[in-house]
Structure 1
Amino acid sequence: MPPRSSGWRIGRVAGAPVLVTPSWLLAAVVLTVLFAPTVRFWAPATGTPGVLVVSFVFVLLLFGSVFCHEVAHALVARSRGHRVDELALTLWGGHTAYSGGAHRPGDTALVAVVGPLTNLALALAFWVGFQAQSVESVPALLLYAGAFSNAFVGAFNLLPGLPLDGGQVLEAAVWKATGSRTRGTVVAGWVGRVVGVGVVVGVLLWPLTSGSRPDVVQVMWAALIGAFLWSGATEAMRTGRRREALAGLTVRSLATPAVLVTQGSGVADVGRAAEGRGETVVVVVDRSHAPVGWVDPRAVAAVPADQVAATTVDAVVVPFPAGSAVRADASGPELLQHLAGTSGGSRVVPVVDDGRVTGVLDVARVAAALRPGSRQ
């Protein structure tokens, strides 16, 4: 599967590409500038170029920690039978995309929790290194900053709300308790929204408890983080509902019955074949009963009355793309993958059961069944 994100490929982990997205560059610049005053305070004798270099080294350490976080996700996901599609470093840190495998609550929780635990382990390692320093120095600053940032990233990601890793753990817990993954996603999504709002409210109210005013920069960052959490939680809930709709997607529930006519039959035979059959589609088959195409009623109606007797169905048939036939028992992701790979933009594809054409599948009807609130 090709990478889902655009960016520069810098290697592979767990069989998947590691990408640095363009948004990471923006994050690196912003974080370098934000950390520079701390470096200047810690090492006042350092010139501006040196301050920026040290600040950028911290940013590299931070994103190195994020990378370790994502590698942990990827390795455990692969060990649980999933296919890892990509690891990406982004504006908000990073993400690991994986698919396939058997989705179980325990596996989902395990894949999610190893990321934050990796950060907490790194925080401990950085802290031990900092404690070993005998004097205040630039290396000591970097070790302290590494310990603090990893502890924050690990703890924050364990908060029980999507799209955070802790939200995936909560989702898995509700899924295990109720048997419904979608219910788990919705619960964890709403908690994620509450966490997002809580971040903003906390930053606004905390200074007031000590009689000071909220810092504008901190409020702006809190608003960005809150918006990220709210939108991520909302998208996770949408994805959960789409996943539920996809799981219930079957050819048998969506197919339209077919009436078969053989190549070379007259257009007049079309009406007689479909008469009294209710909702049906006329499918043209060859002499070996393989599907050739379907008959568009509008094309039949356009044939002049004085030419009906001399016109064959070959003149009004809409060909099926080669290999587009779907099995009558196909469903879910398998069905969508087949349609995406073989339908070639065709509106209708044939349905076969044990080698026999039994109906047709309208691709637009499949798409409509995936929309929120749809009913099959």
Structure 2
Amino acid sequence: MSGPEHGAKTRREGLVLGSVRGTPIILANSWFFIAAITVLVFGPQLRGIYPALGAGSYAVAFAYALLLLFSVLIHELAHAVAAKMYGWPTHKIVLNLWGGHTEFDFSKATPGKALVVAFAGPIANFVLAGLGWLVQLGLPDTASGPVSLGMAIAILLTNIFVWANLLIGFFNVLPGLPLDGGRLVESIVWKTTGSQEKGTVAAGWAGRVIVIVILAVALGGPYLTGSQPDLTTSFIVILMAGFLWMGATASIKGAGIRLRLPEISAGALATPAVSASNQCTVAQLWTLRGEYPSEPIVLFGADGRPAAVVDEYALAHVPPEAAATTLATAVARSLSQGAYVPDVAAGAELVQYLAQLPDSEYAVINLDGKVTGLLSQAKVVAAITGKPLQ
């Protein structure tokens, strides 16, 4: 891991700790919240067990938070290394309130490769747990006699490190997104159906089921034994469940969008339109409107490219005596340069192109360059999200 040239720097989502082969490692602002919770919860507990620590118990609790951070960092680095092994572009590693995530490009993924990258993280945690266990073997056994306070703290932190990595590893292999184990469900469905998106949807729903099971066990389980769930535990479980539910939902929605993309084309979504020169007059536009009473009118410039769209209200309110001398551009709203797309443009190509333009409407042209329709941004968004046009 190599740091930035001038040390850690801040960006909107958090503190940049460094980078690995060009991939920034970001400590999200939310991590400081969970670190504070860890210190406030475990500090007093440690002080009760080791009174001699005094205020130092909070420093030990913070060391616990740092050990968790280190474990999550290794987990995410394992994902990044595995992704780079397959040549997948890795954009960033974020360590946050909920643990962390590694953002990389899945476009070259296959079911098998996706599994390797996903399970690299949990495997790294199991390796860390094993290393921690080896360290434990070299530490004194508290059952065989008293040890110094420093040694007792070392034993405690080592034990916490082992169990924390086991917990992170086993938790992440649960079969539902956004957990790493969700890639197993995704890959099985992907391999069976040939569609990664359908696999992602299935894994997202599996993730929602896991959330419900976690809530039922953590919050309802204590009542079965005649007790009540601990307030702190309930708070953490509810926060975690909320995060998992949002992650699963985002996966389902994202996959749904990718499933709809191939069916989205400029020609299919556009409203049929007619065209006229931007040098014609309002009187000529009125004649054209008589022939085509409902189609939008797109004006083209001297180069033959779409340049503006006639405003129907303005067109209808030009005084008759001025119609023959008023240019069409006076009753039109301009289009940005290049605000037109071929009618065959579809899917991600169409969306990426439109995302580069500031307009809310675009002319649609055929292969001969003739205007065939007018496409609104709202229609494209509705088609992508699957929501009805407002």
Q: Structure 1-normalised TM-score?
A: 0.87
Give the deviation of 1:171 after TM superposition: 1.9
**1:151 correspondence with 2:151:** no
SS in 2 for 1:195: helix
Amino acid aligned to 1:348: E
Give yes or no for contact 1:257–1:279 (8 Å, CA) kept in 2.
no
Amino acid aligned to 1:351: V
Deviations 1:129-173 (A, max 9, x none): 212223552323222211110110010011011221112321222
Change (3 A) 1:229 1:263: closer
Amino acid aligned to 1:236: S
Q: Which residue of 2 aligns with 1:168?
A: 183
SS in 1 for 2:139: coil
Change (3 A) 1:209 1:261: closer
Give the deviation of 1:63 after TM superposition: 0.6
Change (3 A) 1:230 1:100: closer
Q: Which residue of 2 aligns with 1:201?
A: 216
Q: Percent identity?
A: 34
**1:350 correspondence with 2:328:** no
Q: Which residue of 2 aligns with 1:121?
A: 127
**1:24 correspondence with 2:39:** no
Change (3 A) 1:216 1:292: closer
With 125-134 and 145-154 compared, the bigger mean Cα shift is at 125-134
Equivalent-residue separation in structure 2 for 1:9 and 1:177 (angstroms): 41
Amino acid aligned to 1:190: W
Deviations 1:42-101 (A, max 9, x none): 7x2642233222221221121111111112222333443433232111111111222363
Q: Which residue of 1 aligns with 2:317?
A: 302
Give yes or no for contact 2:308–2:329 (8 Å, CA) kept in 1.
no
Give the deviation of 1:301 after TM superposition: 0.7
Equivalent-residue separation in structure 2 for 1:277 and 1:99 (angstroms): 47
Give the deviation of 1:204 after TM superposition: 4.0
2:382 to 359, 365, 368: 368
Give yes or no for contact 1:14–1:75 (8 Å, CA) kept in 2.
no
Q: Which residue of 2 aligns with 1:313?
A: 328
Equivalent-residue separation in structure 2 for 1:193 and 1:100 (angstroms): 22
Count of residue pairs the alignment pairs up:
370
SS in 2 for 1:163: coil
Q: Which residue of 2 aligns with 1:9?
A: 16
Give the deviation of 1:24 after TM superposition: 0.6
SS in 2 for 1:133: coil
Give the deviation of 1:303 after TM superposition: 0.9
Q: Structure 2-normalised TM-score?
A: 0.84
Equivalent-residue separation in structure 2 for 1:250 and 1:129 (angstroms): 60
2:350 to 335, 344, 351: 335
With 210-219 and 147-156 compared, the bigger mean Cα shift is at 210-219
Equivalent-residue separation in structure 2 for 1:271 and 1:325 (angstroms): 24
Give yes or no for contact 2:335–2:362 (8 Å, CA) kept in 1.
yes
Give yes or no for contact 1:175–1:183 (8 Å, CA) kept in 2.
yes
Structure 1: 5+ residue runs without aligned partners?
Answer: none
Give the deviation of 1:112 after TM superposition: 1.8
Give the deviation of 1:27 after TM superposition: 0.6
Give the deviation of 1:273 after TM superposition: 3.5
Q: Which residue of 2 aligns with 1:51?
A: 57
Amino acid aligned to 2:364: V
Change (3 A) 1:368 1:209: closer
Change (3 A) 1:160 1:4: farther
**1:61 correspondence with 2:74:** no
Equivalent-residue separation in structure 2 for 1:100 and 1:352 (angstroms): 33
Q: Which residue of 1 aligns with 2:110?
A: 104
Give yes or no for contact 2:306–2:339 (8 Å, CA) kept in 1.
no
Equivalent-residue separation in structure 2 for 1:146 and 1:17 (angstroms): 25
2:270 to 235, 246, 255: 255
Equivalent-residue separation in structure 2 for 1:241 and 1:327 (angstroms): 25
Amino acid aligned to 1:296: D
Equivalent-residue separation in structure 2 for 1:260 and 1:186 (angstroms): 43
Structure 2: 5+ residue runs without aligned partners?
Answer: 1-9, 143-150
Q: Which residue of 1 aligns with 2:244?
A: 229
Equivalent-residue separation in structure 1 for 2:226 and 2:385 (angstroms): 50
Give the deviation of 1:277 after TM superposition: 4.8
Q: Which residue of 1 aligns with 2:304?
A: 289
SS in 2 for 1:356: coil
Give the deviation of 1:315 after TM superposition: 1.5
Give the deviation of 1:228 after TM superposition: 2.8
Equivalent-residue separation in structure 1 for 2:244 and 2:173 (angstroms): 13
With 187-196 and 89-98 compared, the bigger mean Cα shift is at 187-196
Equivalent-residue separation in structure 2 for 1:51 and 1:241 (angstroms): 49
Give yes or no for contact 1:256–1:279 (8 Å, CA) kept in 2.
no
Q: Which residue of 2 aligns with 1:215?
A: 230
